[in-house]
Amino acid sequence: MLTSCTSGPAGSDVKQDAEATLELWTRTTPGGPGEKGTLALAAAFTEATGYKVKVTAIFDDFETKLQQRAAQRKLPDIVLNDVTQLGAMHSQGLLREIDLSKIKNSGQITPQGLGSGKSLDGKQYGLPYSAQATALLIRKDWREKLKLETPKNWDDFAAMAKAFTTRDPDGDGKKNTYGLAAPLSTKRGYASWYFSNFLWAAGGDFIAESGKGKYKPAMTTDASVEAVQWFRDLGCKDKAIQPGAVTMDTPPTNETFEAGRTGMFAVGPYLLPRFDEALGKDKYEVVPMPKGPKDATVLAEGGSVYLMAGSENRAGQDAFADFAVSAEGQKTGMKGETGFTVQLPVNKTVDISQVRPDPRWRTYDEVYRTSGRYAPSVPNWTAVRQVTAETVNALMADCGLDTGIKLRALDKQLAGILEEQGIAAS
């Protein structure tokens, strides 16, 4: 793929023009708040540096359109995309290595954020500009009515889930509430995505690094099995997860929480504006995820700045990456109630309270910095996420399945995927 993008290593022989307009693609809905936020960030960058930027928002078929540009040897200069796309984009030769000595603000990036932009060979191919992490939303009015304390560990969590399911927290006299909202469909690997918050808190893993960029399957370790069984019991024994969860992705799951059918939801901060409007700030609260058998590790995600191969304005690329992670760029990206491009800052010098005084955002920020963990930058994390989602989904959909048998079969599938990607431990 690299040779279809450029005629030299990472476009090293492309004639440079520091006056050339930078073409920036962002993976977001055209005309939506994400595009507006990106336009504001680009405008601030131009004002600060003089480099010109043309922003294009694409959501549908983003990867396909990027491949088409690669085939035409005309990639955009900059791509804002999910952090989990690093492995795939790097393995296809679409990215150029980022020289951190030219990114003067790179030393201010959180350690896990900077690490998320490294490929398996340890080189930097992405810089995070926005982060998010999982915290727990709880129906505060339900919790107070049932005189429950905020859950601090998994026992507390399970007890609250059962109470919300059986003790009529909304007071309507009907058995129509459930403890936990959970998107557990196989679509886009949602079941695996959601379950990772519990798997990692137990000390388990989907795949475990064994050194030098090599991995081995890890779903049959004691910690992983414990996490699967505990989570499965919430649905199969306690009946504390909303009905139909195994067919739901995030939109219908969001609706169960805002409609008062579920009382807890482990999710990122992006839903706060929506739930504030639908429920009201006084009806729910944001707290850190309760500690699991090992710790409170949760999924960290977000967007990264990718500098594409073959650019004729590498100086402009570097300048944009530097601005995006700078305190000024981060604060610019955080402005607004909905049209922001930065959810949680990745720059350690930025105090989120200065831009968003709402203490719930600080809770999320602290969770990210102390407990957030990114998925590894393997060549194709989507394949790992999808096959693990299918197994988690099956175990939650059919309570009669044998957990051990299914997880052993999953590890065999994972071994094959790792082998295909050339990262299997010998």
The tens digit of pLDDT for each residue in 321-350 reads 999 999 999 999 998 766 689 999 999 999
Report whether 142 contacts 283 (CB < 8 A).
no
* Helices (H) then strands (E): counts for the chain: 17, 12
pLDDT in tens, 369-421: 999 999 999 999 999 999 999 999 999 999 999 999 999 999 999 999 999 99
**What residues of the chain score a pLDDT lower than 50?**
1-11
Q: What is the CB neighbour count within 10 angstroms for residue 108?
A: 19
Q: pTM of the full predicted structure?
A: 0.94
Residue 340: what pLDDT? Answer: 82
Numbered ranges of CATH 3.40.190.10 in the chain: 2-132+300-373, 135-299+379-420
Distance CA 154, CA 158 (A): 6
Instruction: Decide if domain 135-299+379-420 falls under CATH 3.40.190.10.
Output: yes
Return the pLDDT at 338: 63
pLDDT of amino acid 212: 84
pLDDT score at 3: 40
Q: What is the pLDDT of residue 339?
A: 67
Q: What is the CATH number of domain 2-132+300-373?
A: 3.40.190.10
**Element holding 51 (H helix, E strand):** none
| Tally of CA atoms within 13 A in the half-sphere of 325 that contains its CB | 29
Q: Please, which residues have CB within 8 angstroms of residue 237's CB and are 6 or more apart in sequence?
A: none
Q: Reduced to 3 states, what is the DSSP secondary structure of residue 44? A: helix
Give strand ranges (E) for 348-413. Answer: 372-373
pLDDT score at 5: 44
Burial class (CB in 10 A: 0-12, 13-18, 19+), 418: buried
